Amino acid sequence: MTLPRLALFLITSLLLIACTSSTPIPSSTPPQAYPAPATIPAHSQPIGYPAPAATTSETITLTYQNFEIVPPSLTVKAGTLATFLVKDGTHQPYTSDPAPTFDSGVPLSAGATYQFTFGTPGTFTLSCRLHDQMKATLVVVP
């Protein structure tokens, strides 16, 4: 073998050895923008408020649809379990006044629900963290 051929053979061999390393190359998957859970678990008491003395067996459903919260106003007894149902789009239920009573924590896609038990009497402004114009009033009585 001539010197140029030997040099070419050695360089090619070294490149092949370097390119066939046994160390795996980590794959990267794009991060998901927001998880889309089917249901966020219910909370037993509002954030920042004492636990309710007693709960009722009442339940209500508030619907987030067409950039509205339906019904726009409602009065319930303390201890009522509220289910927030997203019918279309993506919404993030929370109370804007007084804050922070509850927040779903993540945007919810169509079909998802979030549940919260209102244990403390008062008047609450329900909102969507993604759409400021969406408002409803919930009055909780003893």
**Tens of pLDDT along 9-68?**
767 665 556 555 555 555 555 544 444 444 444 444 444 333 344 455 789 999 989 999
- Helices then strands, counting H and E runs in the chain, come out as 1, 11
Report in angstroms the alpha-carbon separations of 13 from 6, 7, 51, 97. Answer: 10, 10, 73, 71
Look up the pTM and report it: 0.59
What the block records as the tokens of 58 is 């009442």
* Domains of the chain, start order: 39-141 (2.60.40.420)
